[in-house]
Amino acid sequence: MTATATFVRHAPENADSRIVEWVEAIAEMTQPDRIIWCDGSAEERQRMLDESVAAGTLIKLNPAKRPNSYLARSNPSDVARVEARTFICSEDEDDAGPTNNWAPPAEMRETLDALFQGAMRGRTMYVVPFSMGPVGSPLARLGVQVTDSPYVVISTGIMTRMGADALAQIGPHTEWVPAVHSVGAPLLPGEDDVVWPCNETKYIVHYPESREIWSYGSAYGGNAILAKKGFALRIASKVGEEEGWLAAHMLLLKVTNPRGRAFHVAAGFPSACGKTNFAMLRPSIPGWKVETIGDDIAWMAQGPDGRLRAINPEAGFFGVAPGTGYSTNPTAIEMIADDTVFTNVALTDDGDVWWEGLTKEVPAHLTDWQGRDWTPDSESPAAHPNSRFTVAAHQCHSIADTWDDPAGVPIDAIIFGGRRATNVPLVAQARDWEHGVYMGATLASERTAAAEGTLGELRRDPFAMLPFSGVHMADHWQHWLNVGEKLNQSGNAPQIFQVNWFRRGCDGRFLWPGFSENSRVLAWITERIEERVDAVESPFGLVPVEGSIDYAEAGVSEKDWEALFEIDPAALSAEADDTDVFLTRMGPKLPDAVVRQHDEFRSRL
């Protein structure tokens, strides 16, 4: 232990010795001024919020407008995931695959060891134990993150079951994921802290074999809340592959029809493609009810009853703010009325928050996400396009009473969808599990503000996992095929579907109104499961027969309805050629089943 590190709170007596030794080793490397073991209590959270306000890291919002809520403004260079600096450092490069950045583990450890030397000097190192999934659930997994960012601690306390209860679950033989994070901005004696510390040098590194995550230089949630994408998807995809369960970038919802039958649905959409809106859907059809279980990540395993059962490993929502409003997602707006941390949204003159899409009326004056004066005549948006709200799941008024059931919920349907202006129909059902895996493997979407790159650019995002898989993508597909084979053997495989809310007409209009009207598609999906409605063949799969979805009630004309399912063989053939190139990148690990399904798609064209 270095002389510069002083324990403010000693390790709890029940802390496993392996964790204590690991914390001491990281402290010796990073040299924090003090170490705090977080217990997850309400008192601890409020103290950290108050300290962050005093330090200028957070702005307390007007309690009359937004009780117990805060605004964080990040460094303009630290506003999204940095996929180019995210690495899967498997022992064998081939295990990372062509869609991940790879570096030799030993070489990367040398690089990180040098960066982390003294990285926390002048700061506090927080020890943050957490459970992904309900504490004690057979589907839950445990981790411990150390960080020098109070923002990350506060966010992790919202997004996970964090604190003493999680720490108590880790015994001498319990597996746990160690995660190390630093903003990479050590303070010299006499130097003041910066409002949003970060470093131009950034690394987000995963070691699949040893289950470690190391993150340096960023305080943005997707790069720094390591329990989220880093653990719940990248490391979990490796663990799930070895243990026979699925880590999926999927929302979870419960839908109950007018006859009282409940269905559970998992849906995989790329980031900023409407997952939260769909998870909190308010049906436009009388008699239908939708409840929320999760909006981003699902862990799914075959249960004792033979069915695929899922948990939401998270305990909160890290939602995209722009576009979320009273007309698009009233449930989310009600949820964030209090006790919410906002990041990179605009500040109103009376101490509330605002972003594009929140209200029809645009305020005459705001302070934008960078702290500058803003008016409707300003050239830049008031809120960053990837600005966020972080809020506890239990605040969601549509949360299902089974959302944190330790046994998970039984999955009846799996849906894939992306942001596609052309080619992909409103909805199609896979012919079988193998065809459904092909749907997921060839999923493509237009790039959004949640990731680096050109907005609107079409990119392949298989299973909505392109930035989040910790294994070779083809191995991930084969794992889905293997899990499906076991489910098929027991007769319990969920039905698989593909949707596209974003198809546009020749004039650029969205052909489908989306939002609450998506309930009509969801109703059709559940009624297909019950075999209450018919479908017809198309190159994509089974699509609705005339009259099975009341599109007129959704305000859609017959012409637009036909355009939602229009097939352009030349355009689809060109896209199939592009798919050939993408699949070829997978090399010899490409599953035969995916090749077979692609050949069948071409033949149907």
Residues serving a catalytic function are: 273
Q: Is 515 annotated as a binding residue?
A: yes
CB 276 within 8 A of CB 332: yes
Q: Is 505 annotated as a binding residue?
A: no
Among candidate residues 51, 69, 72, the one with its CA nearest the CA of residue 388: 72
Q: Is 222 annotated as a binding residue?
A: yes
Q: Is 56 annotated as a binding residue?
A: no
Q: Is 360 annotated as a binding residue?
A: no
Q: Is 34 annotated as a binding residue?
A: no
As given in the structure block, the two tokens for residue 482 are 């293997």
Q: Is 486 annotated as a binding residue?
A: no
Q: Helix, strand or coil for residue 200?
A: coil
Q: Is 229 annotated as a binding residue?
A: yes
CB 193 within 8 A of CB 58: no
Among candidate residues 212, 172, 174, the one with its CA nearest the CA of residue 16: 172
As given in the structure block, the two tokens for residue 591 are 């599953």
Q: Is 137 annotated as a binding residue?
A: no
| Cβ count within 10 A of residue 555 | 11
Among candidate residues 400, 428, 404, the one with its CA nearest the CA of residue 255: 400
Separation between Cα atoms, residue 403 and residue 313, nearest integer Å: 10
First-to-last alpha carbon distance for the chain, in angstroms, is: 67
Phi, psi of 343 (to 5 degrees): -130, 125
Q: Is 277 annotated as a binding residue?
A: yes
- Name the E strands within 489-604: 495-499, 535-538, 541-544
Separation between Cα atoms, residue 400 and residue 264, nearest integer Å: 11
Q: Is 419 annotated as a binding residue?
A: yes
Number of H helices, E strands in the chain: 16, 32
CA within 13 Å, CB half, 446: 14
- The residues, ordered by sequence, that sit 6+ positions from 546 with a Cβ below 8 Å of its Cβ are none
As given in the structure block, the two tokens for residue 4 are 């510069």
Residue tagged 């030794």 (tokens) = 21
Say if residue 27 is exposed, middle or buried (CB neighbours under 10 Å; 0-12, 13-18, 19+): buried
Q: Is 276 annotated as a binding residue?
A: yes
484 forms beta bridges with: none
Helix H or strand E segment including 480:
helix 473-489
- The residues, ordered by sequence, that sit 6+ positions from 576 with a Cβ below 8 Å of its Cβ are 598, 601, 602, 605
Separation between Cα atoms, residue 413 and residue 523, nearest integer Å: 12
- Name the E strands within 467-570: 495-499, 535-538, 541-544
Residue tagged 């300290």 (tokens) = 51
Helix H or strand E segment including 206:
strand 203-207
- The residues, ordered by sequence, that sit 6+ positions from 236 with a Cβ below 8 Å of its Cβ are 132, 141, 247, 299, 313, 470
Q: Is 387 annotated as a binding residue?
A: yes
Concatenate the DSSP letters of all residues of 164-225 into one string. HHHHHT--TT---EEEEEE-S-PPPTTPPPPSS---SS-EEEEETTTTEEEEES--SHHHH-
Name the DSSP class of 504. B
As given in the structure block, the two tokens for residue 88 are 């899967």
CB 160 within 8 A of CB 315: yes
Q: Is 202 annotated as a binding residue?
A: no
Q: Is 303 annotated as a binding residue?
A: no
CB 251 within 8 A of CB 409: no
- Name the E strands within 116-167: 124-132, 141-147, 161-162
Q: Is 452 annotated as a binding residue?
A: no
Q: Is 198 annotated as a binding residue?
A: no
Q: Is 386 annotated as a binding residue?
A: yes
Feature table: binding site for substrate: 81, 220-222, 271, 386-388
Feature table: binding site for GTP: 272-277, 388, 419, 515-518
Feature table: binding site: 81, 220-222, 229, 249, 271-277, 296, 386-388, 419, 515-518
Feature table: binding site for Mn(2+): 229, 249, 296
